[in-house]
């Protein structure tokens, strides 16, 4: 099968909206029943949707490019969909970050701080509204029967304003220091992320045995901060480059896939009980060693794919 990012978008585009319905519903039930297990489950769902939203947005660009040659499709509607998706992506990533923070605080404090839970609920509610709006506009693009305008006539607006993502991307590229500064910040975030990954995963592989995992657990927010910096700067690169620079490169697809798996791998060291109980001089289990080794390999793969983008797939 010739899989490209347009295909990926068809597979993923409903998951953020449907996932948020399920996640918010479960979260409200968890708050009402005061169940920490349900709270943890709903926060994991929010974190997972935040990860999944990254390839969903990126693959939407490929789908938009594929539709450009279709005369009955409105370019204005595609641009409106891209702007709505970009706004939803920003709030969704904030929701995912707050959800992970709640999971981390639960482990350190043995409880969920109410302030974090309220912030997650508010961010998730806004995310769902924005995701729903983006999904509605996306459905209008290829389904004239659900449009509010006359049947068969594309719903156009009087404005020809380009998508918000492209406006921000163009501004970054046109600034002489925009792209170099983003590259610098990107590599700082990458160093922070990979440094924490190495410390935690090497301990799980049996090195640094004199350090209990609870000590290294304090470093996890710094690793997540590095990941967040990379997500923000990576999106800036994506929206600043011409639309087909990344989406037609198979290495970019591999990078997105590895980021998803590596992000899920990080949940093992945040949520599961065994790493937390690892004291100084304790020997990690086989499961912990497999999770740690795979984590290192996954992030090395992400770094490799990122560095090889200019050399494979003719992106640049």
Residue 153 has pLDDT above 70, yes or no: no
Residue 315 has pLDDT above 60, yes or no: no
Which positions ≥6 away from 287 have C-beta within 8 Å? 274
- Asked whether the beta carbons of 240 and 170 are under 8 A apart, the reply is yes
pLDDT of 48-88, one tens digit each? 999 999 988 888 887 777 777 666 666 777 778 888 888 99
Q: Coil, strand, or helix at residue 243?
A: coil
CA 193, CA 306: separation in Å to the nearest integer? 15
- Our separate counts of H helices and E strands in the chain read 13, 0
Return the minimum-mean-pLDDT range out of 124-133, 147-156, 253-262: 147-156
CA 253, CA 196: separation in Å to the nearest integer? 25
The three-state (H, E, C) secondary structure of 10-49, written as one string: HHHCCHHHHHHHHHHHHHHHHHHHCCHHHHHHHHHHHHHH
Mean pLDDT of 186-209: 91
pLDDT of 236-259, one tens digit each? 988 888 777 888 788 888 998 999
pLDDT of 63-73, one tens digit each? 777 777 666 66
CA 173, CA 186: separation in Å to the nearest integer? 15
CA 33, CA 270: separation in Å to the nearest integer? 23
pLDDT, residue 273, reads 81
pLDDT of 10-42, one tens digit each? 788 888 889 999 999 999 999 999 999 999 999
What end-to-end distance do the CA atoms of the chain give, in Å?
Answer: 26
pLDDT, residue 73, reads 67
């Amino acid at each position: 099968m010739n899989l490209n990012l347009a295909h990926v978008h068809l597979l993923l585009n409903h998951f953020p909206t449907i996932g948020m319905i399920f996640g918010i519903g479960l979260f409200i039930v968890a708050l009402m029943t005061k169940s920490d297990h349900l709270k943890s489950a709903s926060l994991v769902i929010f974190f997972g949707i935040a990860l999944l939203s990254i390839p969903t947005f990126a693959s939407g660009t490929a789908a938009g490019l594929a539709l450009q040659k279709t005369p009955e499709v409105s370019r204005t509607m595609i641009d409106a969909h891209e702007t709505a998706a970009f706004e939803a992506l920003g709030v969704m990533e904030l929701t995912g970050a707050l959800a992970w923070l709640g999971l981390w605080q639960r482990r350190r404090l043995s409880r969920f701080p109410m302030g974090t839970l309220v912030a997650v609920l508010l961010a998730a509610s806004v995310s769902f509204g924005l995701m729903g709006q983006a999904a509605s506009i996306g459905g209008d693009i290829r389904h004239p029967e659900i449009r509010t305008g006359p049947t068969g006539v594309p719903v156009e607006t009087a404005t020809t304003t380009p998508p918000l993502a492209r406006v921000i991307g163009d501004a970054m590229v046109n600034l002489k220091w925009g792209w170099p500064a983003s590259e610098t910040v990107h590599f700082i975030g990458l160093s922070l992320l990979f440094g924490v990954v190495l410390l935690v995963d090497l301990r799980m592989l049996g090195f640094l045995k004199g350090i209990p995992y609870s000590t290294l657990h304090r470093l996890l927010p710094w690793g997540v901060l590095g990941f967040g910096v990379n997500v923000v700067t990576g999106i800036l690169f994506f929206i600043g480059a011409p639309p087909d620079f990344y989406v037609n490169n198979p290495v970019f697809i591999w990078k997105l896939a590895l980021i998803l798996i590596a992000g899920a791998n990080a949940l093992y060291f945040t949520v599961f009980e065994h790493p937390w109980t690892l004291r100084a001089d304790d020997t990690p289990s086989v499961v912990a060693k497999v999770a740690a080794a795979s984590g290192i390999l996954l992030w090395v793969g992400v770094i490799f794919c990122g560095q090889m983008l200019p050399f494979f797939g003719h992106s640049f």
